[in-house]
């Protein structure tokens, strides 16, 4: 037992004395959360738009006012003619232009219908789509207000409610994703590197020719990174609650235990990588390509799994972070209990046991 504890102490010393890596390990989650939370967001806010008002009547002014009043748009350009419309887009001054026809109000009052043209810069299709939708709904609002006065016979209204994330904040989906990414990096990459490093430096040779049981070497290697990850989980959760305003809806105990389960499964993956890699660089590359990329691409964090081609959907099932992402999303954001995530937890648990078993079996007690 003393032997084992001493081994853990030694591992801690390695981590502690490598200040640069330590900084990365603790700094990375903070930076990622802040970057994803504030900078990388697909929300549309204060988009620059231009107005080509050929009508210049009360109705057009009323619509423009409403557009300006919303937090989505900022009118930066008053375009004077059709000819200057395209150059304004080309210069990148505006993302969308709103064009009112001549006699907008007259048409509206006398013919009971009129058309507003929305021209959007679709180089970024998602943004263009969102902008057009926002603008349409603002115009609709205006129309409904007018209708109140006119009292038309039929009208179907849609009322929207965004459940679980009423403000449609991107950080709601980023927090679980970043958690998966950080744990992947800290646990898988660092454990695999730390084992391969011993082999590269030749210290593994000396450790092997000693009475210590290989299983203990493995566990001792995992302990420091497990604790480091626990600290990271705590800091990510604190940041997301207090800085990003993403509340933890479900049980904190359940959430933390799911995180720790995932941590163990990723640690086991790191071990698995270390038995396949022969140099620290290889270990790092395998962790990045084999774990990090699937976490980003296939976990549903960046792109919804349901929209992927069938083969990719099948492959995504073997990515542990997919299950973790699903669990965290449901527990943390939706506030669901264990009854709703037990299946996913079981899958993750089975994966963990499998990885652990394979990596212990593959641990080489000799040099070859």
Binding site for another protein (CB under 8 A): 2-3, 6-7, 10, 13-14, 17-18, 201-203, 205-212, 365-368
Helices (H), the chain: 2-17, 19-34, 58-69, 82-90, 104-110, 125-150, 171-183, 190-201, 203-208, 214-242, 252-276, 280-286, 293-298, 310-316, 320-328, 338-362
Closest separation between CB of residue 194 and another protein, Å?
A: 12
Report how far residue 294's alpha carbon sits from residue 283's, in angstroms, rounded to the nearest whole number: 16
For another protein, give the closer residue by CB, 2 or 161: 2
Closest separation between CB of residue 212 and another protein, Å?
A: 6
Residue with tokens 């970057």: 35
Closest separation between CB of residue 209 and another protein, Å?
A: 4
Determine contact, residues 223/264, Cβ cutoff 8 Å: no
For another protein, give the closer residue by CB, 128 or 196: 196
For another protein, give the closer residue by CB, 306 or 368: 368
For another protein, give the closer residue by CB, 75 or 360: 360
Closest separation between CB of residue 365 and another protein, Å?
A: 8
Closest separation between CB of residue 23 and another protein, Å?
A: 16
Report how far residue 112's alpha carbon sits from residue 109's, in angstroms, rounded to the nearest whole number: 5
Determine contact, residues 360/278, Cβ cutoff 8 Å: no
For another protein, give the closer residue by CB, 211 or 309: 211
Closest separation between CB of residue 210 and another protein, Å?
A: 5
Closest separation between CB of residue 221 and another protein, Å?
A: 14
What would the DSSP string read from start to end of 233-249?
HHHHHHHHHHTS-----
For another protein, give the closer residue by CB, 17 or 149: 17
For another protein, give the closer residue by CB, 156 or 367: 367
Q: Is 49 helix (H, G, I), strand (E, B) or coil?
A: strand
Burial 308-328 (b: 16+ CB within 10 A, else e): beeeeeeebeebbbbbbbbbb
For another protein, give the closer residue by CB, 52 or 220: 220
DSSP 121: -
Closest separation between CB of residue 9 and another protein, Å?
A: 8
Give, to the nearest 10 degrees, the angle between helix 2-17 and helix 214-242. 50
Determine contact, residues 348/331, Cβ cutoff 8 Å: no
């Amino acid at each position: 037992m003393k032997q084992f504890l001493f081994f853990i102490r030694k591992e801690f010393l390695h981590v502690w004395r490598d200040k640069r890596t330590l900084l990365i390990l603790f700094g990375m989650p903070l930076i990622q959360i802040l970057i994803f939370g504030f900078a990388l967001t697909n929300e549309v806010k204060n988009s620059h738009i231009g107005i080509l008002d050929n009508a210049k009547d009360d109705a057009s002014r009323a619509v423009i006012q409403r557009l300006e009043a919303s937090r989505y748009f900022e009118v930066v350009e008053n375009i004077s003619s059709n000819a200057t419309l395209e150059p304004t887009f080309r210069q990148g001054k505006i993302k969308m232009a709103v064009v009112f026809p001549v006699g907008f109000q007259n048409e509206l009052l006398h013919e009971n219908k009129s058309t507003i043209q929305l021209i959007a810069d679709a180089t970024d299709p998602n943004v263009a789509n969102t902008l057009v939708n926002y603008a349409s709904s603002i115009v609709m609002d205006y129309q409904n207000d007018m209708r109140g006065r006119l009292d038309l016979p039929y009208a179907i209204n849609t009322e929207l409610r965004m459940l679980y994330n009423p403000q449609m904040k991107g950080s709601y989906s980023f927090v679980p994703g970043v958690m998966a990414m950080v744990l992947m990096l800290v646990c898988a990459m660092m454990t695999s590197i730390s084992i391969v490093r011993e082999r590269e430096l030749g210290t593994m040779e000396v450790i092997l020719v000693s009475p210590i049981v290989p299983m203990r070497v493995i566990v001792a290697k995992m302990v420091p990174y497990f604790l480091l990850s626990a600290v990271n989980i705590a800091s990510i959760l604190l940041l997301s609650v207090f800085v990003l305003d993403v509340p933890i809806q479900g049980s904190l105990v359940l959430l933390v235990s799911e995180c720790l389960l995932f941590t163990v499964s990723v640690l086991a993956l790191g071990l698995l990588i270390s038995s396949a890699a022969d140099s620290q660089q290889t270990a790092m590359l395998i962790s990045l390509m084999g774990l990090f990329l699937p976490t980003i691409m296939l976990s549903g964090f960046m792109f919804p799994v349901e929209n992927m081609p069938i083969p990719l959907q099948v492959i995504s099932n073997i990515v542990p972070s997919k299950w973790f992402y699903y669990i965290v999303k449901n527990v943390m954001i939706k506030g669901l209990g264990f009854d709703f995530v037990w299946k996913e937890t079981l899958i993750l648990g089975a994966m963990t046991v499998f990885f652990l078993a394979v990596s212990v079996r593959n641990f080489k007690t000799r040099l070859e």
